[in-house]
Structure 1
């Protein structure tokens, strides 16, 4: 195992540990907030985030990625990036402040939505100012520090602030305060570790050089925003605020573990891929390994969530969120497909080939917009809108794989094999959980049904870990040391 591989594996372990801890906190937090607030409160915040994501990527300006990906970086470059962050963050906040009333009218939101948008827009300044420090931590592969900062900012800034405010009767504003606390600490804690210079340096030539790459990353992020949230925009405008709240909680439940896994890995993979961006053979191998691992993790996990959606919604969110249960399976599948595509996008980003990524996102956007128009014309409601989003993700992932298969033709067989193996395992898990549901019947207590399903799914996944040496993704996990040896069959043989 090379030094880079060893550092990357340790980074994956730290980021996944942070993600697992975050999920352990997020689940009871979401359960508590679902009982303290109403669907209308979550709907308002979801619509506010929908508007803010319009400027989200421009606030960062691709600056974090630019800091990580640059072949060389000086203190002067860091000062330029920080100055650019200050300018871009301030402009983004000002633009959202002025546009808030018109944005609220666009989605047919109540008057309070304007105030919520304007207050939450402060996060754009926090995000921009924190981008250089976060980029420096990623560039230095200080994954333990990144994991600790992420976890502390989420728990203290978001969860503690949000629940305290909700208990005091702040309503939707508890979500606003939690969001601002979260992003504020995400900027402050990394800076406290790297202490880069905050003296402004206006160098237009250097700024253009940074934005040549970072700007393309921002455009990609903006297109991802449009494709990811176009369905939510349509729901907010044509169905209502309460329906948007139901959609938002369903999306959280469907994608929470999947998204945590993707975000954790992306923080590690971009710096690692950037270090070997000129070594084609190693990049090809890394591409095949990532596809094998991500499909083998994300799709079976989606099967567990989707097949248990009714029980998860009832126990975690409560009776008022029953309408979310039917949305979880399709949202989970769309999330899984989209997150696998994100890994392909990370590889392309590390190569610096951001222009092709823009083209793929444009195609996806056209598909989603056309599908949404058809869904609204047919009057199919939220479910048909989600199908349009899912089709868009499938098109995006297909285009990424066509491109990467041309770049790395030697990996085609392994990539196809990875999808086939993940699909087989996913179908097995879904069938097993459906059988459990049929055996216990609807009259059985919800908690007992969920416990039985999770036990069966856990047994199947444990068996896969111990005896799944024929799965390429499992072999990669073992070779890279991503699995505890006591869980593998090789460890059992040594013990004998």
Structure 2
């Protein structure tokens, strides 16, 4: 095992440990907040965050990725990037302040939505203060520090602040306060760990050089944002705030565990890919290995979440959220496909070839917009819109597969096998959980049914890990030393 591989494996362990910790906190937190707030509150928050998220892509401008990806980085470069981050963060906040009323009108939201948008936008200048420091932490592969910072800022800055605010009757504003607390604490801790020069340097030539790469990353981030939040805006505009709230909580249940896997891995893989950006053979092998592992993990998790959606909603959110249960399976599959595509996206970003990535996202957006128009014309409702989201993700997945097959022809068979093996395992898990549901009957307590399903799913996964040596994803985690020794025998 090379030194880079060893560092990467340790980084994976730390980031996944953080993901488990975040999930352990997020699940009871989400259950508590679902009982303290209403679907309308979550719908308002979901709609209010659309405009700041839109502007966030320009506020960041790919600067964090530029810090990681650059072959060499001097103290002067750091000061230039910090100056850019402050400039974009401040300008983006000012733009959102003026655009907030138009965002409210576009979403057909109440007047309070404008104030929420403006307050949430404070997260952009706050986040700008930590962008450079976070990039330096990733570039230095300080994964333990990153993991602990992420966990602490999420638990204290977001969950504690939001929960205490909700208990004191802040309503939907408790979510706003939690979001700002999270951004502030994360930026502060990241800077304290790095302590780079706080003096911005406004060198136009150096700024232009940074933005050649960062601007392309920003465009990709913008397109990803539009694709991710377009359904939420459409539902809020045409189905109402309550429907948007139901969609938002369904998306949380369907995507949160999967996103934890993706976010943890992406924090490790972009720095790793950047270190070997000119070694085509190693990049090809890493691409095949990542695809094999991520498809196996994410598709299996989707099967568990999708097949248990009714029990998860009933136990975690409560009876008032019953409308979310039917959306979880489709949203989960779309999320799994999106997150699998994130890894080849990170690979080409590390190589600096992000132009065609933007084209793929643009094609996906065209499919999404055209499909949404058709769904609205046919009065397909929320389920019709979810089908369109799934189709757009399939198109994106196919385009990435074709492109990466051209870049790395030797990976063609391994990647195709990875998808087939993962789909087969996900189908087996879903079938087993469906059988459990049928055996226990519709009148059984939700807690009993969910416990039985999780037990069966856990047993199947352990058998797969222990005896599934023919699965490429299992072989990879064994060879890389990711699994405990007892499971590698």
In 1: Cα distance, 2:393 partner to 2:355 partner: 19
Residue matched to 2:44: 44
Residue matched to 1:319: 319
Q: Secondary structure at the match of 1:118?
A: helix
Residue matched to 1:108: 108
Residue matched to 2:337: 337
Residue matched to 2:450: 450
In 2: Cα distance, 1:128 partner to 1:349 partner: 21
In 2: Cα distance, 1:329 partner to 1:126 partner: 36
Residue matched to 2:18: 18
Report the alpha carbon displacement of residue 258 of structure 1 after superposing the two structures with TM. Answer: 0.2
In 2: Cα distance, 1:344 partner to 1:393 partner: 14
Residue matched to 2:383: 383
Q: Deviations over 1:377-398 (max 9, x none)?
A: 0001111101111111111111
Q: Deviations over 1:243-297 (max 9, x none)?
A: 0000000000000110000000000000000000000000000000000000000
Q: Residue 481 in 1 paired to residue 481 in 2?
A: yes
Q: Deviations over 1:33-78 (max 9, x none)?
A: 0000000110010001112111111111101000000000000000
Residue matched to 2:200: 200
Residue matched to 1:302: 302
Residue matched to 1:64: 64
Residue matched to 1:179: 179
In 2: Cα distance, 1:280 partner to 1:201 partner: 36
Residue matched to 1:435: 435
Report the alpha carbon displacement of residue 228 of structure 1 after superposing the two structures with TM. Answer: 1.0
Report the alpha carbon displacement of residue 484 of structure 1 after superposing the two structures with TM. Answer: 0.8
In 2: Cα distance, 1:449 partner to 1:70 partner: 51
Q: Secondary structure at the match of 1:385?
A: helix
In 1: Cα distance, 2:211 partner to 2:127 partner: 17
In 1: Cα distance, 2:222 partner to 2:48 partner: 16
Residue correspondence of structure 1 range 67-82 to structure 2 within 5 A: 67-82=67-82
Residue matched to 1:87: 87
Q: Deviations over 1:151-205 (max 9, x none)?
A: 0000000000000000000000100000000011111101000000011211000
Tell which deviates more after alignment, 18-27 or 389-398: 389-398
Q: Deviations over 1:213-260 (max 9, x none)?
A: 001101000000111111111101100001000000000000011000
Residue matched to 2:368: 368
Q: Deviations over 1:308-350 (max 9, x none)?
A: 0000000000010000000000000000000001111001101
Residue matched to 2:151: 151
Q: Secondary structure at the match of 2:398?
A: helix
In 2: Cα distance, 1:343 partner to 1:440 partner: 39
Residue matched to 1:493: none
Q: Deviations over 1:113-136 (max 9, x none)?
A: 001100111111122221100000
Tell which deviates more after alignment, 54-63 or 7-16: 54-63
In 2: Cα distance, 1:127 partner to 1:353 partner: 26
Residue correspondence of structure 1 range 194-273 to structure 2 within 5 A: 194-273=194-273
Q: Secondary structure at the match of 2:278?
A: coil
Residue correspondence of structure 1 range 395-414 to structure 2 within 5 A: 395-414=395-414
Residue matched to 1:6: 6
Report the alpha carbon displacement of residue 487 of structure 1 after superposing the two structures with TM. Answer: 2.3
Moved over 4 A (4+): none
In 1: Cα distance, 2:383 partner to 2:344 partner: 27
- Using structure 1 for the length normalisation, give the TM-score: 0.98
Report the alpha carbon displacement of residue 438 of structure 1 after superposing the two structures with TM. Answer: 0.4
In 1: Cα distance, 2:40 partner to 2:485 partner: 47
In 1: Cα distance, 2:55 partner to 2:278 partner: 33
In 2: Cα distance, 1:120 partner to 1:21 partner: 26
In 1: Cα distance, 2:19 partner to 2:473 partner: 20
The count of residues paired between Structure 1 and Structure 2 equals 489
In 1: Cα distance, 2:16 partner to 2:59 partner: 27
Aligned residues: CA RMSD: 0.6
Q: Deviations over 1:357-404 (max 9, x none)?
A: 111111000000000000000001111101111111111111111011
- Using structure 2 for the length normalisation, give the TM-score: 0.99
Residue matched to 2:160: 160
Residue matched to 1:169: 169
